[in-house]
Structure 1
Amino acid sequence: MRLQFLLGEIGNGLRRNLSMAVSVVIVTMISMYLLGLGLMGQRQVDTMKDYWYDKVQVTVLLCAEKTRYPSCAGQATTDAQRAAVKQELEDLKPTVKEVFYESQEEAFSRFKETYKNSPLARAGESYFADSYRVNLADPAKFDVVASSIKGMPGVADVQDQKKLLESFFTFMNTVSWAAIALSSLMVLAAVMLISTTIRQTAFSRRRETGIMRLVGASNFTIRVPFVLETVIASVLGAGLAMLMLWATVKYGVVGFLSRTLTDTAFIGLPDVYVVIPFVLSGVVGLATVTSWVTLRRYLRV
């Protein structure tokens, strides 16, 4: 098959069915963009897990006056009890990597800085308790610390930040999987649209196809222009989607979020570059298979 003839057939086909080709481009673009967002969401969760699990802490809350914790009996932790708790934590090394003491005043100041609009930010220090913040060598060893500290005199509660983070990561995973599920529906719509486009294109060019059969053209020669038209439209849509994904990460994540929220880790452009080849190759494969199967069925009629 001569290249000039093939390019001419592809150009004529795209001109004749411009509206359908544009529809394929748009549907492919939306579906691949949603898929890219879902994949970026998964990579963001993994990035944040690696970042935050290294910083996860166990908080040993001490008692304050009139506290609601029943183990405190409304009494504040004494200096002797505070010292005993710290010594117990020190004895848990190497499971416990570091121990930091946070006073009532420091806890109140940190809360005001983090939750400026909360009513508790104007309530005063009496609503806050001092605590020990514990960095673990292995975040999975929370139970070792909790079993040793809980029930000690002067200890109100032992809180694991990892459980709070896991709830957040579960939510993030749900959102990203929802985007992937929605993109799957859009991919299904793209497949149906490609199939419809192929059938209409083949029907509109049935005379040319018949002539090509009469002169001895093979099925492969007849089908290739149709397939390449579909692949070009699909790749164009996927390319636009990846360009949108690149802009989203560059300006939305790297340019804004990473500069605004400096105390966490975010994905970057290298993560987009990893996804792009898989998306484009998947689109080429999907468009090729869909158009080839549709044409195979048509040529049997």
Structure 2
Amino acid sequence: MRIGLVIGEALLGLRRNLSMVISVVLVTFVSLTFVGAAVLMQTQISTMRAYWGEKAEVTVYMCSPLSTSPNCIGGEASQDQIDKVEQSLKGDALAPLITSVTFQSKEDAFQDIVDQLGEEQASVIGVDNTSVDFRVTMKDPQQSEVISEAFGGEAGVEAVKDQRKLLDPLFSALTVATYIAVGVAALMLIAAVLLIATTIRLSAYARRKEIGIMRLVGASNSSIQTPFVLEGVFAALLGSALASFAVLAGVRFGVEGYLAERVPFMRPLVGMQEAAFVVPVLIGIGVLLAALSAGFAIRRWLRT
């Protein structure tokens, strides 16, 4: 079987069904772009969860003069209560679970409020009305509940807050967006497969006389089928290439260019290295689906 002749027949078939081929290219492009976006979004979620999970702190807030918690009936936490919490955090029971404990004074806490709200609004609260707290970094972030259980009902402790829980809504929203992208990609891939099969059948019908002659002269089924399979593969390959370019451009200009500057808290972000890993996956999916759908379509047509 001459390779040049087979490729020439495939290109001829593409020209004969140009409108259908363009449809296949566009549908493949859109569907694989969604696939690439879904893969990168899931990678982003995993990267952020691992990064922020290690850095997230559990904060034990002591009672301030303005606290209304049931643990703060006696008003502001006394020095004895503060010392008791500190000794417990550094005691033998919790020390194996904790990486570090940082004490934040009223002055430090007030400065945080100034940084967040501005000096004018922070002055309404005042230094004396702020609370001291302990910032705890866990060796295993999954065990942060231990701190909440140990100090949640302790006298003088207003609240225990786990920063990881503040990030859970963000991760959940990103996960939902990933599922939506996967769902849309799956529907578009099904449409691409059906379009490829239809294109191959139309091409075979248009060349039915040529196929009949090839059968009469003893051509094998593989010789007849290969040009049609290549038609689907060429169209899907072009769509995959466009999808790969769209993913690379999206990461380069959308993630590294836009999000990195305007949404700094989302670091670390996926980059061109992760996008480059997705490219061969997209091309492989496109070529494989095209080859399978085109091969199935032409075999069924030849049997009729």
| TM-score scaled by length of structure 1 | 0.91
- Bigger drift between 95-104 and 289-298 goes to 95-104
Aligned match for 2:140, one of 133, 138, 141: 138
Q: Distance in 2 between matches of 1:5 and 1:137?
A: 65
CA 1:96–1:46 in structure 2 vs 1: closer, same or farther (change >3 Å)? same
Aligned match for 1:293, one of 274, 293, 296: 296
Q: Report the counterpart of residue 125 of structure 2 in structure 1.
A: 124
TM superposition shift of 1:122: 8.2
CA 1:111–1:10 in structure 2 vs 1: closer, same or farther (change >3 Å)? farther
- Bigger drift between 179-188 and 208-217 goes to 208-217
TM superposition shift of 1:164: 2.6
Aligned match for 2:150, one of 148, 151, 154: 148
- Bigger drift between 38-47 and 166-175 goes to 166-175
* One-letter code aligned to 2:84: A
* Matched positions, count: 299
Q: Report the counterpart of residue 277 of structure 2 in structure 1.
A: 274
Q: After TM superposition, list the pairs within 5 Å mapping 1:14-163 onto structure 2.
A: 14-73=14-73, 75-91=75-91, 92-111=94-113, 113-114=115-116, 124-125=125-126, 129-163=131-165
Q: Distance in 2 between matches of 1:275 and 1:51?
A: 21
- Bigger drift between 22-31 and 139-148 goes to 139-148
Q: Distance in 1 between matches of 2:116 and 2:253?
A: 25
CA 1:206–1:112 in structure 2 vs 1: closer, same or farther (change >3 Å)? farther
What 5-or-longer segments of structure 2 have no aligned partner? Answer: none
Q: Report the counterpart of residue 190 of structure 1 in structure 2.
A: 192
In the alignment, structure 1 residue 8 sits paired with structure 2 residue 11: no
Aligned match for 1:210, one of 209, 212, 216: 212
CA 1:243–1:13 in structure 2 vs 1: closer, same or farther (change >3 Å)? same
1:54 aligns to what SS in structure 2?
Answer: helix
Q: Report the counterpart of residue 238 of structure 2 in structure 1.
A: 236
CA 1:74–1:43 in structure 2 vs 1: closer, same or farther (change >3 Å)? same
Q: Per-residue CA shift, 1:124-159, capped at 9, x if unaligned?
A: 348853321111111122233223222222101111
2:144 aligns to what SS in structure 1?
Answer: helix
2:131 aligns to what SS in structure 1?
Answer: coil
1:48 aligns to what SS in structure 2?
Answer: helix
TM superposition shift of 1:213: 1.6
Q: Per-residue CA shift, 1:40-92, capped at 9, x if unaligned?
A: 00100111112111101111111122323122127111222222222221213
TM superposition shift of 1:172: 1.6
1:94 aligns to what SS in structure 2?
Answer: helix
* One-letter code aligned to 2:48: M
* One-letter code aligned to 1:70: P
Aligned match for 1:220, one of 191, 199, 222: 222
- The answer to whether the 8 Å contact 2:60/2:133 transfers is yes
Q: Distance in 2 between matches of 1:112 and 1:289?
A: 63
2:75 aligns to what SS in structure 1?
Answer: coil
CA 1:175–1:111 in structure 2 vs 1: closer, same or farther (change >3 Å)? farther
- The answer to whether the 8 Å contact 2:243/2:282 transfers is no
- Bigger drift between 132-141 and 79-88 goes to 79-88
2:95 aligns to what SS in structure 1?
Answer: coil
TM superposition shift of 1:170: 2.4
CA 1:97–1:193 in structure 2 vs 1: closer, same or farther (change >3 Å)? same
Identity of aligned residues (%): 38
* One-letter code aligned to 1:80: D
